[in-house]
Amino acid sequence: MIISLYTSNSMIRTFSLILFLLVFGLPVTFGQSWIVDEVVAVVGDKKILYSDIEQGYLQLKAEDNKVDESTKCTIFEQLLMQKLLLNQAEVDSIEVTDSQVDAELDNRMQYFINAIGSEEKLEDYFNKSTIEIKQDFRGDIREQLLTRQMRSKITEGLSVTPSEVKAYYKSLPADSLPYIDAEVEYNQILIYPKSSEQAIINVREQLLVLRERISNGESFATLAVIYSEDPGSATRGGDIGWLAKAELDPEYAKAAFALKKGAISRIVESSFGFHVIQCLDRTDDRVHTRHILLRPKIAADEKTQTIEKLDSIVRKVRLDSLRFEIAALMYSQDEDTRVNGGQAVNMFRGGVRWRMDEFEPAEYRIINNLKVGEISDPYQATDSKGKLVYKVIWLKNRTNPHVGNLKEDYNLFKSRTSSIKQNEIVNRWVEDKIKTTYIRISDKYHGCPFELEGWLK
């Protein structure tokens, strides 16, 4: 299931298109017309188009980078390398699953939604639903993942020693050291307030009434607009587009794939809430549905009980009678962080550090007011599925803005050292693979000063 999340971050609208394509690592198209294409290179059976180079060039120029005609040669060589890696990935039968593509798409989409302000703003800008935007980029993301796996295969077994990290750090001029923004590390405990049996019965009865109204001829789409609690699809009459089984909640998928075209489901309970689903069309591996989502209301006393439970847990931790990590393992209902003692992982950038501008305003205020080692009072939040949740945060670490150094940022410099070694290994592999791969390059690029040898064999 795809449920939209709304954020309150603001972003200059004219910046949004460039940022979106940068997040996805894809070329930028300016204006409403596409550059006229021609094939300028073939690597194995992979083609590179003139527009690929030109759009990459325009992207760099739009970011105020210093560019000239030689920049196009650099972009062209990068594309040649990507296609060579992709071609070999297919030769080696490296596979990427639909679920891997979906996860990558979800992560990148969520990153951009947070940056631009909301899913609604994203859809307004592109005049497409989130589902349609994701479908447009599915093929490109699959290719990127295949290329990434091929690089991993080439560089597997690579290790970096502390002495290599230190040598890399010392090789950097003082004015080239990175400036690191303030970052935090935190653990969390999440508990969901329970819905009463009566609240669940009420939701089921409401959906039964809606289902009967649809059966009697009322418009499913109109009722979805009025009643559905899925903000991402309600405005589109509940339509969530074509999705594979792996992209859907398991219970939703089970019900959706059991329906014939035009049929309406029974009431379906998923991890998002309760649904009535209509199948608009389907194939063997994908289904086009719309739905009405309702969630049981949470009574005030149930919210109070959840807060009191969290208060009790926090009190034990503050009195040193229980470690926070153990409390998270015992009580937290967040399966993604519970087994790691509640350690929050930054899915957008990797690692466990978070910049302060990556938090929602409400959560920002809570974390900003905590000292290292302190635990917040319980507060209300919304999870990634739009569900109400209460949480507490333990601030483990906070770094002040500073110039990068080995003591505070060893992992950053280790990562950069590793990247340099990886690139060296991949470059050697490319120069060797060029010799045995069919490569044809347009005459107009024969004058490019390529860094690697053999492209013009």
At 52-97, the pLDDT tens digits run: 898 888 878 776 677 887 899 999 999 999 999 999 999 999 988 8
The more confident residue out of 213 and 128 is 213
The pTM of the full predicted model, rounded to 2 decimals, is: 0.59
Q: What local confidence, expressed as pLDDT, does residue 439 receive?
A: 95
Last residue of a domain, one of 264, 294, 324: 294
Asked if residue 85 and residue 224 are part of one domain, the reply reads no
Domain count, the chain: 3
Residue 381, CA distances (Å) to 17, 27, 323 in order: 29, 36, 23
For position 215, which CATH number holds?
3.10.50.40
Residues 330-350, mean pLDDT to the nearest whole number? 88
Confidence of residue 114 (pLDDT cuts 50, 70, 90): low
Which range, 12-26, 46-60, 203-217, 337-351, has the best average confidence (pLDDT)? 203-217
Do 146 and 253 fall into the same domain?
Answer: no
User: For residue 325, what are the contacts with CB-CB under 8 A and spacing of at least 6?
Assistant: 187, 341, 342
Domain check: are 27 and 125 in the same one?
A: yes
Pick 251 or 69 by higher pLDDT: 251
137's enclosing H/E stretch is: helix 130-155
What residue numbers bound the domain in which 385 lies? 182-194+299-400
First to last CA, the chain: 50
Long-range contacts of 296-301 (CB under 8 A, 24+ apart): 296/195, 296/196, 296/199, 296/200, 296/202, 296/203, 297/195, 297/199, 297/202, 297/203, 298/193, 298/194, 298/195, 298/199, 298/388, 299/196, 299/199
The arithmetic mean of pLDDT across residues 376-402, rounded, is: 91
Q: Domain check: are 338 and 436 in the same one? A: no
Return the sign of the alpha-carbon dihedral for residues 134, 138, 140, 141: positive
Q: Please give the Cα distance from 43 to 27 (Å, whole number).
A: 19
Q: In the predicted model, is pLDDT for residue 295 greater than 60?
A: yes
Tell me which of 294, 323, 351 is where a domain ends.
Answer: 294
Are both 385 and 435 inside the same structural domain? Answer: no
Return d(Cα 87, Cα 225) in angstroms, integer. Answer: 46
